[in-house]
Structure 1
Amino acid sequence: MSNAVILRLQKELSEFSKNPDHQLFLHYDDSDIMNIKAMITGPPDTPYCLGQFEFSLQFPQDYPTTPPKVLALTTNHGRSRFNPNIYAGGKVCLSILGTWHGNAGEQWSSAHGITSILLSIQSLMSDKPYRNEPGHDQEKDSSKLEPYNQKIRHETIRISICDRLEGFLGIGQKVLLNGQSPDMSTSSSPAGSPIAKSGSTAFATPVGTPNSSGTPVVSTPTIFEPLYASTVSHKDEFSDLSKRLFLAYYDIYQHNIEVESKKVADGTAFYKAPFEFGGNKMDGTFGYTSLAKRLEVIKAAIERETTEWIAESAEWIKSSSRMSSNLLRQYEQIREYYRENNAGGVEVELVDNNPFVWAFTIIGKPMSNYDGGMFKVQMVFHNTFPDIQPRVKFVTPMYHIHVTTDGVPFYTVERQDDVRYHIQAISSLVLEDEPSTNPSTHVNIQAAKLHFGTKDQRREYNRNARRCASRSIEYFD
C-alpha cells in the first residue's frame, strides 16, 4: 500500500471533516481507509427527498491516478434501479468514475476526490432523473417524467427509509419476490415487534429474526448475499445517524405520503420506463397506506429505545461504568463554565441526578422572537457515547424551522464527544437571528414555508414564535 495514496486519502478525509455537509456522510476504519462507506440523503424537492442512500468506495493502489470503484448499496438487494445512472446491480454510471464515456473534459483526473464524487452522485438525484438517460435528455414529451418520479418517491420511502430502519431496529419484515413488503398493522402488535403478515414469499426469513446467538439477521437473496448481506443490520455504521435523521425528517416523510397518496391509488402498478429492462429496472405497486403505518411503527420503536436507555442507565451507574464517570465529569465542568461565564443564557442540570439524562434551559434572546421564553431541552445518553449520539428533544413548545413539531432539533456539532458543543449547537438555534437557508435542515414544514414566504407569511411566523415563547413559561410555573 503506497504511502502517497494513504497521505492523499488522509488529506481528503481531513478536509471533508472540516467542511461538514448536511447531506453527505462518511464512515471508515483508520486501519483501512482504502475502503470507505458513504451515505447521501436525497436532495429536498426531488423524488429522492431525504432518502438515505449508501455507497461503497474502494480505492485502488494507484489512486488518484485511477478513480475508486463505487457501488450503490441501496438497491433493494439488487432488485431496484433508482436512477438511469444508478443500476439495480450497484453500478454508478459517471464519466469521472470511468463508467460512462461522457463529454470531453468530464473524465476522471487527479483533481477529483471523495467530495467531488459524492456531489456528482448527488447531482444524479435531480427533480427530473428521467432526463439522465441518454437519448431522453432532450425528449420533448414530458408526460413520462412524473410517472417515473412517482415510483422513485414511493421506493425512496419504502426501501431507503422503511426497509432500512426496520433492519436497524429488528422489526420483522418478509421480502417478496418483486421486492414488495407485506402490509403492516399496528393494531395487533406493539411497535417494534415482528408484525409482517403471512403470505407467499420467495425469501421467507423475516428481517430482524434473531439467530442462535440472539442477533437480528437480514434475509437477502443468495445471489446477492456477498454484496448486500451487511448493508442493513442493527450494527450498520450509519445506524445511529439514520435513526436520528429519521426522527428529524419523520414529519416530512409523512407529509410526502399524504401528498402522493392523493395522486395515485394503492395497488396501482409502477410505470415502466423504456430504458428499464431485465433485472435492471424498478417494478412494483404503490402502497402508501402501508408505508404510513410502517413509519409510525419505526418512530415508536426509536422512541422506545430512548426510554430503554433511561431504564438501563440505572445499571450503568450501579456498575460505575466509565461513561457514567465521563458524563458526570463533563456535567460538572459545563455547569461551572456557564455559571462563571454567564454564557448564552443557558442553565444545565441532571434529571434525577442521572448522568445519562441531562436537561438544560435556554433563555430567549432579548429583542428577538423568543424574548422572555424559557425553553427546556432533554438529552438522553447511551453508555457507548459518543459512538451513539444523544437523543435530544425540546420538552417545552418550540416553533422553529430547525425543530420538528414534536420538539426534535436538527443540528450539527463540531465535536461529537463534548456535550458542551451539543448544548451550544442546540442553543444557537434559539439564540441566532436567522435560521439556515439550507432546505435539508428545515424540519418544520409550516414554519419554513412561512419564514421564507411573503411578508405577511413572515409576520405570521414571527407571531407563532412569540406565542411559543409565551407558552414556554407556563411549564416553569
Structure 2
Amino acid sequence: MSNAVTLRLTKELSEFLKNPDHQLFLHYDDANIMNIKAMITGPPDTPYCLGQFEFSLQFPKDYPTNPPKVLALTTNHGRTRFNPNIYAGGKVCLSILGTWRGTAGEQWSSAHGITSILLSIQSLMSDMPYRNEPGHDNEKDTSKLEPYNQKIRHETIRISVCDRLESFLGINQPTFYNTVCNTSNDSYSTSSSPTSPQNTTTSGSGMPATPVGTPNSSGAPTPSTTTLYEPLYASSVSASDEFSDLSKRLFLAYYDIYQNTMQTESTLVKDGTAFYKAPFEFGGNKMDGTFNYAALGKRLEIIKKAIDKETSDWIAKSSQWIHNSSRMSSNLRRQFEQICEYYRENNTGAVEVELVDDNPFVWTFTLFGKPMSNYDGGMFRVQLVFHDTFPDIQPRVKFMTPMYHIHVTSDGVPFYSVEKPDDVRSHIEAISCLTLENEPSTNPSTHVNLDAAKLYFGTKEQRREYNRNARRCASRSTEYFE
C-alpha cells in the first residue's frame, strides 16, 4: 500500500468521523485500511425502512485513480436480491463504481470517496426501487410497483433485522417461523443465518460494536446454494460481525417502528401469499418467498426480550467484575467521581448523578426540565448499564421515568450519538441535550417515537397536542421520586 493511498484513505476516514451520519457506519482496522466494512440503515419512508445492510469496500493500490470493489453482504447467503442494482451475488451496480454504464458526469473520478459511495448506494434504496431497473424507470403500474415494495419490506425485516440479531444473540428460531423459499433447483426453509464467533471492534460515528453470541447454525443453505456462493462469501465476509453492538442498540431504538411495519403490512397482504416476481428477476438473482408477518412479529418480540435479558445479565455479572477488581470497574468509578466534581464546580443544577448500590457498572442520573420549556418542573431519571468491556460495548441507556419526546421510544430508549464514546459525561450530556434542545432533529431516522413525530411535524393543533403530552409527562415524572 503506497503512502499516497494511505494518506488519502486516512483523510477520508477522519472526515467521515467528524461528520457522523445516523444512517452510515464504518468499521476498519488501522493496520489495513484498504479493507473497510460499512453498514447502511435503510431510509425511512422506503421499503428498506431502517433495515441494517452491510457492504465491504476493498480499495485498490491505485486508489483514487480507480474505485474500490464494493460487495453487498446482506444477501441471505447469496439467495436474495434486494434491489435491481444490488444482486443476490453481492454485485452493486453503480456507474461511479464502474459496474454500470453511465454518462461522463456519473462515472468514477478521484473526487469521489467513501462517503459519496455510501450515499450513492443508499440512494438505490428508494421509495420505488422497481424503477431502478433499466427500461422500467418510468413504470407507473401500481400492480407491479407496490407488490415489489411489499416483499422488500418483508425481507428487510426478516433478513437484515431478525436473522442478523438472532445470530448475535444465539437465538435458534424454529423453521416454521420463517419464509419457505422454493427454487427450480432446491427447496429450503430459511432461518437465522449462521454468523460469527466473538469479536470486539469499533464502528463509525463513535459507536462501538460488541462481542457476538454463539453462532446459530440453523437455516444453512443447501449444498447447491453453498457451492455457488461460498467462494464469494468466504473471501468477503469476516468470521465475525463488527456491528453487533451497534445493531442491538439500533434495534432497541427502532423496535416500535419495526413492529408498526409488521402491523401495517399484515393488513395489506395475507400470510402465506407468495412473493410477486418482477420481470427482471431470474435464475438465482431474485427474491423468492412467502409472507409471514405473524412469525416476524413473534421473532421481533423474542429478540427484544433477549437484548433486555442481556442487559440484566450485565448487572448480575457486575458483582463479579467488581470482586475481580477489573480495570473497567476502577475506570468507571474514577469517571463517576470526576463527573460529580464537574457538576459541583459548574453548579448547573441540571443533572444529578448516582451509582446504584455503589455499583460502578450501574449509573442513574436525574435531569431537571428546562425552565419555560415543555419539560419545566420535570424530573427525569435515566439509567446507564455498562459492560466490563466498555467502551468497546456501549452502555444500555433507558429513561426510567416517563419521557414523551420524538427522540425517545415509548419505553424510554433515547436515540442519541456521542462524540467521545469512552467518556461517560459525553453520554450524559448528549442525552441531556434531548430535553434541552429548542428544536428536535428533522432527520426521520432519529424519530423513534412515531406518534410524537406525527404530532410535532403535523398541523398547529397537532403541535399543541404534542406540547400538552410533553407537559403531562413532565408532571408525571415527579411521581417516581415520591
TM (norm. structure 2) is 0.91
TM-aligned CA deviation for residue 206 of structure 1: 8.6
Structure-1 residue corresponding to 2:435: 430
TM-aligned CA deviation for residue 403 of structure 1: 0.2
Q: Distance in 1 between matches of 2:52 and 2:180?
A: 18
Give 5+ residue unaligned stretches, structure 2.
182-186, 199-212
Question: Deviation per CA, 1:253-303, whole angstroms, max 9, x where unpaired?
Answer: 000110000000000000000000000000000000000000000000000
Q: Distance in 2 between matches of 1:206 and 1:156?
A: 14
Structure-2 residue corresponding to 1:123: 123
Instruction: Tell me which amino acid in the other structure corresponds to 1:118.
Output: L
Structure-2 residue corresponding to 1:253: 258
Matches for 1:275-354 after TM superposition, within 5 Å: 275-343=280-348, 345-354=350-359
Q: Distance in 1 between matches of 2:321 and 2:301?
A: 30
Q: Distance in 2 between matches of 1:111 and 1:234?
A: 33
Paired residues of 1:216 and 1:234 also in contact (CA < 8 A): no
Q: Distance in 1 between matches of 2:119 and 2:188?
A: 38
Q: Distance in 2 between matches of 1:205 and 1:134?
A: 33
TM-aligned CA deviation for residue 229 of structure 1: 5.9
Instruction: Tell me which amino acid in the other structure corresponds to 1:180.
Output: T
Question: Deviation per CA, 1:417-462, whole angstroms, max 9, x where unpaired?
Answer: 0000000000000111211110000000100000000000000000
Instruction: Tell me which amino acid in the other structure corresponds to 2:254.
Output: Y
TM-aligned CA deviation for residue 311 of structure 1: 0.5
Find out whether 1:49 has 2:54 as its counterpart.
Answer: no
Q: Pick closer, same or farther for the CA change 1:138–1:203 going to 2, 3 Å.
A: closer
Give the SS at the match of 1:357: strand
Paired residues of 2:75 and 2:89 also in contact (CA < 8 A): yes
Structure-2 residue corresponding to 1:444: 449
Structure-2 residue corresponding to 1:92: 92
Instruction: Tell me which amino acid in the other structure corresponds to 1:14.
Output: S
Structure-2 residue corresponding to 1:63: 63
Q: Distance in 1 between matches of 2:46 and 2:191?
A: 34
Question: Deviation per CA, 1:396-431, whole angstroms, max 9, x where unpaired?
Answer: 000000000000000000100000000000000011
TM-aligned CA deviation for residue 143 of structure 1: 2.7
Give 5+ residue unaligned stretches, structure 1.
183-199
Matches for 1:73-472 after TM superposition, within 5 Å: 73-173=73-173, 180=179, 201=188, 207=194, 215-218=214-217, 220-221=220-221, 222-223=226-227, 224-228=229-233, 235-343=240-348, 345-472=350-477
Give the SS at the match of 1:367: coil
Paired residues of 1:169 and 1:234 also in contact (CA < 8 A): no
Give the SS at the match of 1:105: helix
Q: Distance in 2 between matches of 1:234 and 1:270?
A: 32
Q: Distance in 2 between matches of 1:203 and 1:82?
A: 16
Count of aligned pairs: 456
Q: Distance in 1 between matches of 2:192 and 2:383?
A: 39
Instruction: Tell me which amino acid in the other structure corresponds to 2:65.
Output: T
Q: Pick closer, same or farther for the CA change 1:471–1:229 going to 2, 3 Å.
A: farther
Structure-1 residue corresponding to 2:203: none
Instruction: Tell me which amino acid in the other structure corresponds to 1:261.
Output: S
Question: Deviation per CA, 1:295-326, whole angstroms, max 9, x where unpaired?
Answer: 00000000000000000011100000000000
Paired residues of 2:196 and 2:241 also in contact (CA < 8 A): no
TM-aligned CA deviation for residue 138 of structure 1: 1.6
Instruction: Tell me which amino acid in the other structure corresponds to 2:127.
Output: D
Question: Deviation per CA, 1:218-256, whole angstroms, max 9, x where unpaired?
Answer: 454332334446999995200000000000000000001
Paired residues of 1:48 and 1:152 also in contact (CA < 8 A): yes
Deviates more, 1:447-456 or 1:336-345: 336-345
Give the SS at the match of 1:143: helix
**CA-atom RMSD in angstroms:** 2.2
TM-aligned CA deviation for residue 340 of structure 1: 1.0
Give the SS at the match of 1:423: helix
Give the SS at the match of 2:264: helix
Deviates more, 1:96-105 or 1:78-87: 96-105
Question: Deviation per CA, 1:320-354, whole angstroms, max 9, x where unpaired?
Answer: 00000000000000011011102360000000000
Instruction: Tell me which amino acid in the other structure corresponds to 2:355.
Output: L
Paired residues of 1:230 and 1:236 also in contact (CA < 8 A): no
Q: Distance in 1 between matches of 2:103 and 2:15?
A: 29
Paired residues of 2:378 and 2:478 also in contact (CA < 8 A): yes
Q: Pick closer, same or farther for the CA change 1:399–1:474 going to 2, 3 Å.
A: same
Structure-2 residue corresponding to 1:187: none
Q: Pick closer, same or farther for the CA change 1:216–1:233 going to 2, 3 Å.
A: farther
TM-aligned CA deviation for residue 95 of structure 1: 0.1
Paired residues of 2:377 and 2:474 also in contact (CA < 8 A): yes
